[in-house]
Amino acid sequence: MNLLTQGAQQLPEALRKLDPRHLWRSPVMFIVLLGSVATTVAAIVDPSVFAVAISAWLWLTVVFGNLAEAVAEGRGKAQAASLRATRTDTLARRLGADGTETAVPATRLVVGDHVVVEAGEVVPGDGDIVEGIASVDESAITGESAPVIREAGGDRSAVTGGTRVLSDRIVVRITAAAGHTFLDRMISLVEGTSRRKTPNEVALSILLASLTLAFLAAVATLAPMAAWSGAPQDVVVLVALLVCLIPTTIGALLSAIGIAGMDRLVRVNVLAMSGRAVEAAGDVSTLLLDKTGTITYGNRQASCFVPAPGVAEGGLRDAARLSSIADQTPEGRSVVDLALRMGADDQDLPRDAVFVEFTAQTRMSGVDLSDGTQVRKGAGSAIAAWLGTEQPAEVREIVADISRAGGTPLVIGRRDAAGTGEVLGVIHLKDVVKEGMSERFAELRSMGIRTVMITGDNALTAEAIAREAGVDDFLAEATPEDKMAYIQREQEGGRLVAMTGDGTNDAPALAAADVGVAMNSGTAAAKEAGNMVDLDSDPTKLIDIVEIGKQLLITRGALTTFSIANDVAKYFAIIPAMFVAAYPSLDRLNVMGLATPQSAILSAVVFNALVIVGLIPLALRGVRFRAASATAVLRRNLLVFGLGGIVVPFVGIKLIDLIVSTIPGI
């Protein structure tokens, strides 16, 4: 649907917004409304073509300003309607304390209820999976057709109301009451009903109100001065002067710019809890990014086995396979796959063996054989502690070489029944940096944004990946406390910090960050702590969020510059026209060669109204974002929108004057 069609559809809403109770929130447009009323009364008392034309165009100025806001809100309402269509009246299978199931409407669920959802059923409300694993279709919320896996006990346990379970059976603990789900919040957000002015908007509104009051005082004092000088001015001319002097363009478009910025976030499936978060994203100067899944593809793959001196490659291969059978992490499965590709026997499973699963606490997995032999695979420090001895110098050198190359070393250790241990060798896991990441980081650096990689890897591995990716800094072996401390150090230096997270352990850092983006697949604690939620659960989207925030700020700054600059041409149109009769020498200021004083004033008022319509598409689309420093952005704004704001009105007012001057009575 094109903008013209949208404008026609939203015209009735723009007319409804003429209500003074709505317009008083925008002091600039409220003054224009009062001016419209004043000129209308003047045109009725003393009718003339000039007075009627001025009054009509002042009313159109207010309507056009309302239209910009109405079109921006209309886009959100259309999106909200499509979201509402995804909601259904769902019956939930509430689980009782005794294990019995009771069918209840989803609207009667409360926080803490446990519900059962099986294949083919719709999740009745937002919650965390506490039992089971399932494939879930989230296309109704995210638009992504590919199903996702959600399971209990991890950082991908959250499910959203309105999504559909495709396989298996899960038990969900409800974390949001009816009416307060993410779908409800999305609908409220895109409709604009929950939007409040951001601090920057409030500050700019105060500035515009101050300018308006200053010009109001100037015009009020101009009336007696004009009468004293022998060139008395009527109400219509004084109101026209006031409306053309005050920053009506940005006053009319300010709300639309903010709504459109929020709308761009929603269109990339990001739910912002407040406009403040969007603005903060535009001012961010430090980005904290997880390595795995954000900078790298994640799911590190075993690439080769490096035996210790005196150990046969086949022996290391078989030991690596046995120690990884119980490791169901992607890395563990890749070790088994590599061993099988190198000739290991898939049917060679020892009898009476006890497999030891990998845990985050031990950082090892392995197997205990029936003859007392134990084999373990894990981090070098964990294997050394398990063996009770230092690694051989040759093995330490292998580990260092792999780390310097950006890989992750996993050491294989073996201990016999007598307790004698030895290191068999090292597995080389590779973590591949995503294509184009270094270029994106270079763009961010050109904007003055520092990028910091967060990883649980050791410092050597982290340094190699950071160097390849092109980030500015890294935080290795990071704990929740480390993340918090880093954020606080950055903020103490006056920087705004953004980060992503999905786990409960990320919640403190998400809450501390100026922009905390929680993954929708993550835990309820993470989503509550953040001020944005990414419905696609894509950690790389943090970079897009920053760009959208900057585009919002750049658009607002550019149109403010244009609005203030285009007043210059109006001065040259109206001021000489008002006083040329008393002071003929002022005709030298009529650089545009406007036909008559009345046509000059009317042309300025008409241009003042039409420029709002002309800038609505730019306000909704946003000024094109280009990675550049703040100085370069300011220079571009001044050159394009500052100089353009001066030149365009001179041309526009002259063209309008050529038409207006042909109207009888003007």
- Is 179 part of a structural domain of the chain? no
Is the pLDDT at 461 greater than 80, yes or no?
Answer: no
186 is in an annotated binding site: no
What is the gyration radius of the CA atoms in the chain, in angstroms? 33
Looking at 402, 432, 462, the residue that finishes a domain is 432
Note whether 243 and 341 are same-domain residues.
no
Hey, which residues are catalytic here?
A: 290
CATH number, residue 328: 3.40.1110.10
649-665, pLDDT tens digit by residue?
999 999 999 999 898 87
Q: What integer pLDDT is reported at residue 272 of this predicted model?
A: 80
248 is in an annotated binding site: no
Note whether 70 and 205 are same-domain residues.
yes
- Per DSSP, the residues of 565-633 read HTHHHHHHHHHHHHHTTT-GGGGGG-TT--S-HHHHHHHHHHHHHHHHHHHHHHHHH-PPP----HHHH
364-378, pLDDT tens digit by residue?
889 999 888 999 998
77 is in an annotated binding site: no
Is the pLDDT at 114 greater than 90, yes or no?
Answer: yes
- Is 244 part of a structural domain of the chain? yes
8 A C-beta contact, residue 209 and residue 26:
no
Report the 10 Å Cβ neighbour count for 493. 9
- Is 124 part of a structural domain of the chain? no
- Is 135 part of a structural domain of the chain? no
- Is 128 part of a structural domain of the chain? no
Between helices 541-565 and 643-660, what is the axis angle to 10°? 50
301 is in an annotated binding site: no
Is the pLDDT at 625 greater than 70, yes or no?
Answer: yes
121 is in an annotated binding site: no
Which contiguous run of DSSP H or E holds residue 6? helix 3-16
Residues above pLDDT 70, as percent of the chain: 92
Note whether 496 and 456 are same-domain residues.
yes
- Is 116 part of a structural domain of the chain? no
Collapsed DSSP state (helix, strand, coil) of residue 287: strand
86 is in an annotated binding site: no
Which among 2, 619, 3 is positioned nearest to 252, based on CA atoms?
Answer: 619
209-239, pLDDT tens digit by residue?
898 899 899 888 888 887 887 778 889 999 9
CATH number, residue 504: 3.40.50.1000
User: How many Å separate Cα 178 from the centre of its chain?
Assistant: 26
Note whether 235 and 361 are same-domain residues.
no
- Per DSSP, the residues of 86-98 read T---PEEEEEPTT
How far apart are alpha carbons 443 and 226 in whole angstroms? 56
Note whether 314 and 370 are same-domain residues.
yes
Calculate the alpha carbon distances from 409 to 142, 338, 399 in Å: 37, 15, 6
Looking at the structure of the chain, the number of domains it has is 3
Give residue 417's domain range. 297-432
413-448, pLDDT tens digit by residue?
999 988 889 999 999 988 778 888 888 888 888 888
Instruction: Give the residue with greater pLDDT, 330 vs 486.
Output: 486
Note whether 364 and 488 are same-domain residues.
no
455 is in an annotated binding site: no
Looking at 535, 558, 582, the residue that finishes a domain is 535
Note whether 308 and 422 are same-domain residues.
yes
Note whether 74 and 205 are same-domain residues.
yes
Stated pTM of the model:
0.68
102 is in an annotated binding site: no
Note whether 282 and 246 are same-domain residues.
no
- Is 237 part of a structural domain of the chain? yes
How far apart are alpha carbons 111 and 530 in whole angstroms? 20
Looking at 470, 501, 535, the residue that finishes a domain is 535
384 is in an annotated binding site: no
Tokens of 391: 């690694």
Note whether 365 and 259 are same-domain residues.
no
- Is 118 part of a structural domain of the chain? no
481 is in an annotated binding site: no
Note whether 323 and 428 are same-domain residues.
yes
Interior/surface letters 550-576, b for 16+ CB within 10 angstroms, e for the rest:
bbbbbbbbbbbbbbbbbbebbebbbbb
8 A C-beta contact, residue 343 and residue 384:
no
Note whether 237 and 379 are same-domain residues.
no
212 is in an annotated binding site: no
